[in-house]
Structure 1
Amino acid sequence: MNDTEIRQLVNRQREYFLSGATLPLTARLEALKKLKSAVKRREEQIHQAIQADLGKSSFESYMCETGLTLSEITYMERHLRSFAREKRVHTPLAQFHSRSFKKPSPYGVVLIMSPWNYPFLLTMEPLTDALAAGNTVILKPSAYSPHTSEVIRSLIEECFDPSLAATVTGGRAENTCLLNEHFDYIFFTGSQAVGRQVMRKASEHLTPVTLELGGKSPCIVEKTANLKLAAKRIVFGKFLNCGQTCVAPDYLLCDAAVREPLIAELKKQIQKQYGHEPLANAHYGKIINEKHFQRVCGLIDPSKVIHGGSFDPKTLRIEPTILNDITWEDACMQEEIFGPVLPVLTCNSLEEAIQTVNSKASPLALYLFTSDKSAARKVTSRCGFGGGCINDTIIHLATSEMGFGGFGESGMGSYHGRDGFDTFSHYKSIVDKKTWLDLPMRYQPYRGLYGKLIRSFLK
């Protein structure tokens, strides 16, 4: 689409929104029903597209993309009437006799810009929340995952009139055209660099934003941790989707006393989960494109590889790789890795680990492996991060019962379930004042008796 077509689409959606057509709950539930039915019907097609883009197996695609999408839609269908209900709140005596309530209302025309690493899930989940809240939506999937973007475009076109939901495909030119338009809300998932651009453009229209970014998410392994279980779950979370997960453990920060046995368990788990030849494993994904493949390879210092390190430029695959004796000066610690490379750093105490984490930019996720409950309380209380797990990785985002989002430089705002509905809703504070009684004390001329009454009401 060119800038004229995009402007016409935005105007068309705004007219549709202002008509009130998206407000009835029956219309919102019908939209969710159509979306759910289409995802189920096209499941195989979706999985084939994801495999073409990222090399994911159908099992992983269902577990991490279509299955979670269906779960979010089902959750929203079940709870929408409750979420959309007016919430009555206490009315102070000074406002007698009144009814005070908060009314959730949709923002209007929403732009959702999604990334390539989970191209279906991270488009469809915010779409579900935005439609449930009563908005119209323009989707902009990533140009780096063209097969999935095309399936999304076709699916949305099949389900909805463009006045309600539409897809704009393309690259930077289309992104620029979209960000030049006036939206009522922008939801962006991607890199910090692009997130800054999105926020800068949104500020020109004073448009509120949610930014789901990333960063270097630490995984602390405390000396009391169950190392065998920790290794199993770290390997799962780190190398899922070939390491291209925004909440993957970016690096290990382990107690020096357990480093060697932990590394031994990590090696065992990599072989157990991915085989002795991971590059030949049909269920192991690939790096999204040549550019990112070269970038990740450039973060691997051959002299510090203690497991893996091999790669195949033809298939864009990199073995699950462990780097040891890493410092903060190494290349892999200068940026978010976003690939199957796991640096191991050590600390001499939990206090040192906490200070290290807090000296860096706030991460999107934090993971702690420990058998000490006081250590868990200390880390979760004192470290700043978006979300995370104790004795596991990744799974905190796989539920509609909790919001998911960043903190500080890793983003702002959250979504999933109730938090997703709230993100795409503005809560109007309303006082419904009755007409049969009108207390005179607030009106001029002010008199001594009224002053005493005001003080008695407001103290």
Structure 2
Amino acid sequence: MAEYPQDFQAIFQKQKEFFETGRSQGLSLRRDRLSLLSQELERRTEEALEALQADLGKPALEAWLAEIHFLRCELRHCLKHLKRWQRPQRVANPFYFWPARSEIRRQPFGRVLIASPWNYPLQLSLSPLISAIAAGNCAIIKPSEYAPQTSAFISDLIASVFDPGHATVITGGAATGEALLNLPFEFFCYTGGEKVGRFYAEAGARHLSPVLLELGGKCPALIGRDVNLA
């Protein structure tokens, strides 16, 4: 497992410097890193399956379909459309702006914090990362401490593909997550429970940064008449 110094401010500053060079926004680097991530994910499939089995007892077929295959499909989709997505899009002007011409240029936010849960630890760590990198951002992943083997795999995988200034992994529990929320990320992405989701919403408001939340909700179940609820 790759080890990173837990000096959050230093890592955060390194990503700021990397982003300001403009390297993360270059089409060639984005394409190269996403392609390498896809290759490494395929090469290390068995290792990923073993980690998911150790943490969650996931059957290999379910883990492959819901996590690894899902991610490789997303990577193929991004690589196929990346060049088109970055092209400026011409848009019409109101007549009173004539003779001006307008277009939409998609720009990255900057540094993205991605916090993922334990139930789909690989998919919900790497899927937001793929989107963040495809859009030209830098990212820090904070995986769940309740899936330690998968977190170790993710950390080593990311270290083998990305410069730490581009994307890196910080592991730890609640105190680590709380410390990261004190940093002014330009975008927050969190998947998990409502209680912690509120902390991410508050951090976004405090730093005036967008927040993407996928929170748990009601989970209905059918209970047969013959079930003993005592």
Q: Say which structure, 1 or 2, has more relative contact order (CA 8 Å, 6+ apart).
A: 2
Which secondary structure state, in structure 1, belongs to the residue aligned with residue 58 of structure 2?
Answer: coil
Which of 141, 144, 148 in structure 1 is aligned with 2:146?
144
Which of 196, 199, 205 in structure 1 is aligned with 2:198?
196
Partner of 2:209: 207
Kindly provide the CA deviation profile for residues 72-117 of structure 1, in whole angstroms up to 9, marking residues without a partner as x: 0001111111222211111222111121111100000000000000
Which secondary structure state, in structure 2, belongs to the residue aligned with residue 79 of structure 1?
Answer: helix
Aligned residue runs from structure 1 range 111-190, under 5 A:
111-190=113-192
Q: 1:22: Cα distance to partner?
A: 1.1
1:50 corresponds to 2:52 = yes
Which of 35, 58, 61 in structure 2 is aligned with 1:59?
61
Partner of 1:422: none
Q: 1:162: Cα distance to partner?
A: 0.1
Q: 1:202: Cα distance to partner?
A: 2.4
Q: Report the residue type matching 1:101 in the other structure.
A: E
Whole-angstrom distance in 2 between the partners of 1:23 and 1:100: 22
Partner of 2:30: 28
- Contact 1:138–1:167 under 8 Å retained in 2: yes
Q: Report the residue type matching 2:98 in the other structure.
A: F
- Contact 1:68–1:121 under 8 Å retained in 2: yes
Kindly provide the CA deviation profile for residues 392-426 of structure 1, in whole angstroms up to 9, marking residues without a partner as x: xxxxxxxxxxxxxxxxxxxxxxxxxxxxxxxxxxx
Which secondary structure state, in structure 2, belongs to the residue aligned with residue 101 of structure 1?
Answer: strand
- In structure 2, stretches of 5+ residues that fail to align are none
Which secondary structure state, in structure 2, belongs to the residue aligned with residue 105 of structure 1?
Answer: coil
Whole-angstrom distance in 2 between the partners of 1:173 and 1:103: 38
Q: Report the residue type matching 2:84 in the other structure.
A: S
Whole-angstrom distance in 2 between the partners of 1:251 and 1:104: 43
Identity %: 39
Which of 214, 221, 230 in structure 2 is aligned with 1:251?
221
Q: 1:2: Cα distance to partner?
A: 7.3
Partner of 1:40: 42
Which secondary structure state, in structure 2, belongs to the residue aligned with residue 134 of structure 1?
Answer: coil
Whole-angstrom distance in 2 between the partners of 1:10 and 1:177: 12
- Contact 1:141–1:149 under 8 Å retained in 2: yes
Whole-angstrom distance in 2 between the partners of 1:2 and 1:147: 19
Q: Report the residue type matching 1:24 in the other structure.
A: G
- Contact 1:29–1:77 under 8 Å retained in 2: yes
Which secondary structure state, in structure 2, belongs to the residue aligned with residue 10 of structure 1?
Answer: helix
Whole-angstrom distance in 1 between the partners of 2:203 and 2:5: 18
Partner of 2:89: 87
TM-score, with normalisation over the residues of structure 2? 0.94
Q: Report the residue type matching 1:251 in the other structure.
A: A
Kindly provide the CA deviation profile for residues 405-459 of structure 1, in whole angstroms up to 9, marking residues without a partner as x: xxxxxxxxxxxxxxxxxxxxxxxxxxxxxxxxxxxxxxxxxxxxxxxxxxxxxxx
Q: 1:57: Cα distance to partner?
A: 1.3
Whole-angstrom distance in 2 between the partners of 1:156 and 1:52: 20
Which of 1, 8, 11 in structure 2 is aligned with 1:9?
11
Whole-angstrom distance in 2 between the partners of 1:86 and 1:42: 37
- Contact 1:216–1:251 under 8 Å retained in 2: no
Q: 1:133: Cα distance to partner?
A: 0.2
Which secondary structure state, in structure 2, belongs to the residue aligned with residue 98 of structure 1?
Answer: coil
TM-score, with normalisation over the residues of structure 1? 0.48
Q: Report the residue type matching 2:135 in the other structure.
A: A
Partner of 1:381: none
The alpha-carbon distance between structure 1 residues 198 and 59, as it changes in their structure 2 partners (threshold 3 A), is same
Q: 1:34: Cα distance to partner?
A: 1.1
Aligned residue runs from structure 1 range 298-337, under 5 A:
306-307=226-227
Structure with the higher helix share, 1 or 2: 2
Whole-angstrom distance in 1 between the partners of 2:11 and 2:112: 12
Partner of 2:73: 71
- In structure 1, stretches of 5+ residues that fail to align are 218-249, 253-258, 264-303, 310-322, 324-459
Whole-angstrom distance in 1 between the partners of 2:95 and 2:195: 50
Whole-angstrom distance in 2 between the partners of 1:200 and 1:129: 23
Whole-angstrom distance in 2 between the partners of 1:20 and 1:83: 17
Kindly provide the CA deviation profile for residues 329-362 of structure 1, in whole angstroms up to 9, marking residues without a partner as x: xxxxxxxxxxxxxxxxxxxxxxxxxxxxxxxxxx
Q: Report the residue type matching 1:73 in the other structure.
A: L
Runs ≥4 residues deviating over 4 A: none
